[in-house]
Amino acid sequence: MTIATETKVEMKYLTKQPGYEIMPHPQHKRMYHIQLDNQLLQQFFAGCKDVSEQVLQYTPYARQVLAYQFRELFGQSFMQNIRDILNERETGGFTIGVQGQTEETEEFVKFATALTHLIGIPNFDAMTGTFYARFTVKDTDNSDSYLRQAYRLFTLHTDGTFVDEPTDWLLMMKMDEKNAKGGESRLLHLDDWEDLDKFSKHPIASVKITYKAPPSKNVQQTVERTTFYEINNKPCICFIDQFAYPETIDEAMYLKEMSESLENSPATHALKLPVGDLVMLNNTFWMHGRAAFEKHPELHRELMRQRGYFARV
């Protein structure tokens, strides 16, 4: 007999403060949604209106100045709460947005940059040569990875598989969207996956797999990573099907079966993200992917990503 076990998630960080409110996410039991005070948001954008994207690209400390300004407005407790949420195994994710207070994508970049620098430091994104990447999905594409191929499912994976630095967290922000049906972010928290034990305790789980990036990523190095590893005694995962180069047939079959199990998991959730909203996730125990878009000749969607490591101070 199968007993359906619906995990009850304790929401420890629900709070209502003068500048913000942390509430349960309406679409996912393991995420929070954060609502900000519109007046304070306006003040944030007014306070950084002279900072251009170029300044942010050229001057690393300008990014942290944005985080400082954000913290001055929304409080030390805001920073502590989002750090705690991203570190917490039971949840590890939240959404937040500009709430219609701006439609300028340059301001979206500043908003996201303030948030990531409250959490830690973004890694260098070799695809763009700076700390973030904005990328477009259109009707036609001739790229060398699934990232910009609209009409196929982008399978569940973690980021940073082929770089030699920790990728603790990930931010994805919806910058623009026209004629886009489908294409939702697909998300899976490892603790909701029925086959976690089967694959994380498998002998191949701790075998090092080689990861290599395709040319568009501008990363020449190859790295070796185990598929599962532990943080605080809990299994974490490192996997993306496209860039893994297993040595043996057994390893290949293990990865193939694992990917199929992930794809078929009923716990995989398609998240609807409005333009101007972003999602931040712990990249060690959340997997993400993208649903296929419905065909449209004028399809246009732009996303921004930042991913990096947790602050160590």
Q: Which residue is nearest to Fe ion (CB)?
A: 159
Least distance to Fe ion from the beta carbon of 171, Å?
A: 11
Number of chain positions touching Fe ion (CB under 5 A): 1
Q: Between 217 and 300, whose beta carbon lies closer to Fe ion?
A: 217
Stretch that binds Fe ion, among 46-54, 153-161, 220-228, 295-303 (CB under 5 A): 153-161
241 binds Fe ion (CB under 5 A): no
**Binding piece for Fe ion, criterion CB under 5 A, among 92-100, 151-159, 186-194, 294-302:** 151-159
Minimum CB–partner distance for residue 173 and Fe ion (Å):
13
Name the minimum Å distance from CB 206 to Fe ion: 23
Q: What character string, x for contact with Fe ion (CB under 5 A) and - otherwise, covers 165-184?
A: --------------------
Q: Which stretch binds Fe ion (CB under 5 A): 49-57, 90-98, 155-163, 244-252?
A: 155-163
Amino acid identity at 281: L
Nearer to Fe ion, 81 or 227 (CB): 227
CB of 307 to Fe ion, least distance (A): 8
Using CB under 5 A, which residues numbered 68 to 87 contact Fe ion?
A: none
The answer to whether residue 192 forms part of the interface with Fe ion (CB under 5 A) is: no
Residue 62 CA to residue 181 CA, distance in Å, equals: 36
> Least distance from C-beta 159 to Fe ion, angstroms?
4
List Cβ neighbours of 162 (8 Å cut-off, separation of 6 or more): 211, 212, 213, 217, 219, 221, 222, 223, 243
In the complex with Fe ion, the residue whose CB is nearer, 101 or 306, is: 306
User: Does position 107 bind Fe ion by CB under 5 A?
Assistant: no
Quote the distance between the C-alpha of residue 55 and its chain's center: 24
CB of 238 to Fe ion, least distance (A): 12
125 binds Fe ion (CB under 5 A): no
Among 159, 192, 277, 302, binds Fe ion (CB under 5 A): 159
Which residues on neighbouring strands pair with residue 159, listed in sequence order?
none
Return residues touching Fe ion (CB under 5 A): 159
